[in-house]
Amino acid sequence: MERPDFPDKQVSAWDPSRLVCESLRVRRGGRQVMRVVKVKYKGCRYSNCVIGSLVRDKAKHFKDMNKVLKRFFGNLEILVQQGIDLVKVGNNGTMDLRAELQRNKSVDGRPLSS
């Protein structure tokens, strides 16, 4: 599904050639979030959380990264975003304002009625 607010950033897990910096499947609380960093001449480094444990690894080629994305996201669509510093809330919490601002919006950008 195309979203007018992100027309060029939504990619399929099957299209690693468009993977630029970091991928994010927007979910509350950071579930199903993967960080992917392109390393010059060395492929990609990635990290994600699985059942509360941090997983870090690397992929030498985009085709290898595609396999990792397929395993992690399945057939779900993913959203690619550039990484930002998170807002610190209280002593322990952090928050990604992009996800919070996008929440409760319909596809055309108008607020959903409650």
Output the pLDDT for position 42: 85
CA pair distance 89, 92, nearest whole angstrom: 7
Please state, for a pLDDT cut of 90, what percent of the chain lies above it: 8
Interval 40-87: pLDDT, tens: 888 899 888 777 788 899 999 988 998 999 998 888 888 777 877 777
Q: Are 95 and 52 in contact (CB under 8 A)?
A: no
Q: Are 102 and 110 in contact (CB under 8 A)?
A: no
Output the pLDDT for position 76: 84
The number of beta carbons lying within 10 Å of the beta carbon of residue 69 is: 26
Output the pLDDT for position 19: 42
Closest CA to 80 of 1, 4, 12: 12
Output the pLDDT for position 109: 58
